[in-house]
Structure 1
């Protein structure tokens, strides 16, 4: 499974065959044969890990699981996990819908979309990204209401204001852990404005495949830019659309008779940040930083290649590039690829 603790393969495993998703594109599982092969591979990997470690408990986490829209996908995930254990607890962290919307908008731009917008009207309450009550009820249908733990994703309500410490507390895990500094901060306004422009010329996807040159440009721009965090106008009014739903969640899943899910504090939108536009000077500055970072990467790769060459030279593994011109025609293309500088067309 995933070595970095972010179990994206669980979500990809669960996605319906007829649904095209970024994860399925990333793992190249576009047709039924590849999907079934991928699922068998995931099952074998899980089976191997459980057999090797024989763990008392296993923790799996990925935000893509919360965005699965179909009951069949949640059922497929449950059936996979039930093959290894029937004792399953689902922990769901909920952030304010207005924060969810801003995060989704920004993330889509960072991931390659040139523009992301959604009408903030009453109909949006039924959208799967924001219908928290419907989402939790569906998971409860498959895993049992008593096995669902709901936590508001607010610093004031988290243990020591940290989601990792809060989760470990729920799991009753003790130990001396070192925690990284805050990561995945909201991108700045200048980051979003710059990416909205560049993504129009450098798309992340080409049809059902990843584009070859987009790569992680969004993450890089996010890392080298600063300034006021990205906000949207009217976002506080948007939050009020979900008051009734959130009150029902608080009563039903947290046992709060007062129906308070999130604190009353509302984060004020930064009007200046929302209105700020990307200037030509700022765009050139960001482009210059990108160039510098890419040059650093190329220099680093060059240093590594020289080190490898020196190593191979020492052990005598470097051989002159030669070809055998008597090879039959079907082999000629292979020879060209192996040693293009010797091909007549390159002389």
Structure 2
């Protein structure tokens, strides 16, 4: 161990619960936090601690991990883990910190062996451990997660995509108790991701409270949270481009970066947000009633069993996922898509619009 007085705050997500904002806040205030004995280390990643998720992965999964490939890792898994442990210990020792904050939303979905590997790392560092996890209303999370999936190369429409098995993500009781069982002596702070329940409506204030950090938010630099959502036309345009790349350019679904396109699409109003019909969302939420009730009662001490207080978002939404082919050219010009690709993209747009109309009929 680095020292008996080093406590660890482990923020495990889940994804689409403001993790980027929390990590941006921690990085922006790294020096101020360090002055107060709180270290947000650089060793696992300067912004998000991506190497924690990699550390936890089984050996055979590492070479296929998106981040492993993207960032050009080449060391053997045991060598990679040993180097990370050494760098992290060195940074903690040099900082003289009493508390270390680690954050990677990929950790949330770890299986028990992966959590066990991570505990081995944390046990080398920690006195006391506090795990912070944010949980978002499942239907709201589903819609947000679909947008993210399309941005990363998904080709299915929302209706088809939503029919997959999501128990590994949305059974919150099963997920959280998996971490509680693995870190049996840790404090597990479960926070519903609802702005109305944050102190002064601030996610970062809520995180400081959940993490048990003895620091005032007013003494730190604030951040400005951005709305990352796209309208239905923006989402559908990206899906059409994904289909085009898969069908005509040999791309692999769910392995298509769209960041430059997303950045440009955020500059325009691309309509209301796509969602599913209320009855379908009700059915989806029904799967998690028992799980949510147990989290509320047994982990939050709420006798009502109501995990989430905020109603489903309905304003500014639509259930029609379609891009009128007549509007396609304006978007292709905005994204500066090469002219020779336009005909095949238009054929796909017309095909998908026709399918959407047939489905509605």
**Same structural fold, with TM-score higher than 0.5 when normalized by the shorter chain:** yes
Residue 63 to residue 103, structure 1, CA distance change in 2 (3 Å): same
Within-5 A mapping of 1:20-39 = 20-29=64-73, 34-39=76-81
Within-5 A mapping of 1:24-173 = 24-29=68-73, 34-68=76-110, 70-115=111-156, 124=165, 127-144=167-184, 147-170=187-210, 171=212, 172-173=214-215
Per the alignment, residue 230 of structure 2 pairs with 187
- Could you tell me how far 1:43 is from its partner in structure 2? 1.8
- Could you tell me how far 1:15 is from its partner in structure 2? 1.2
Partner deviation per Cα, 1:21-52 (whole Å, 9 max, x = no partner): 3233323458xx53333223322321221122
RMSD: 3.0
Q: How many matched pairs?
A: 284
- Could you tell me how far 1:208 is from its partner in structure 2? 12
Q: Which has the larger radius of gyration?
A: 1
Within-5 A mapping of 1:304-343 = none
Partner deviation per Cα, 1:83-138 (whole Å, 9 max, x = no partner): 111311001100011122112211111112222655757x946x211111111011
CA distance in 2, matches of 1:223, 1:287: 14
CA distance in 1, matches of 2:49, 2:303: 35
Residue 108 to residue 209, structure 1, CA distance change in 2 (3 Å): closer
Q: Please list every run of 5 or more consecutive structure 1 residues that lacks an aligned counterpart in the other structure.
A: 293-347
CA distance in 1, matches of 2:175, 2:241: 35
The answer on whether the counterparts of 2:115 and 2:182 sit within 8 Å (CA) in structure 1 is yes
- Could you tell me how far 1:183 is from its partner in structure 2? 2.1
- Could you tell me how far 1:159 is from its partner in structure 2? 1.6
Per the alignment, residue 313 of structure 2 pairs with 267
Residue 6 to residue 51, structure 1, CA distance change in 2 (3 Å): same
The answer on whether the counterparts of 2:236 and 2:321 sit within 8 Å (CA) in structure 1 is no
Residue 168 to residue 190, structure 1, CA distance change in 2 (3 Å): same
Per the alignment, residue 336 of structure 2 pairs with 291
Q: TM-score, normalised by structure 2?
A: 0.70
Partner deviation per Cα, 1:138-165 (whole Å, 9 max, x = no partner): 1001112651110100111122222211
Per the alignment, residue 282 of structure 1 pairs with 327
- Could you tell me how far 1:195 is from its partner in structure 2? 0.6
Structure 1 consecutive aligned stretches of length 4 or more whose deviation exceeds 4 Å = 116-121, 203-211
- Could you tell me how far 1:66 is from its partner in structure 2? 0.8
Secondary structure (helix, strand or coil) at the match of 1:11 reads helix
The answer on whether the counterparts of 1:188 and 1:229 sit within 8 Å (CA) in structure 2 is yes
Per the alignment, residue 216 of structure 1 pairs with 259
The answer on whether the counterparts of 1:78 and 1:143 sit within 8 Å (CA) in structure 2 is yes
CA distance in 1, matches of 2:223, 2:69: 30
Residue 2 to residue 136, structure 1, CA distance change in 2 (3 Å): same
Residue 208 to residue 198, structure 1, CA distance change in 2 (3 Å): closer
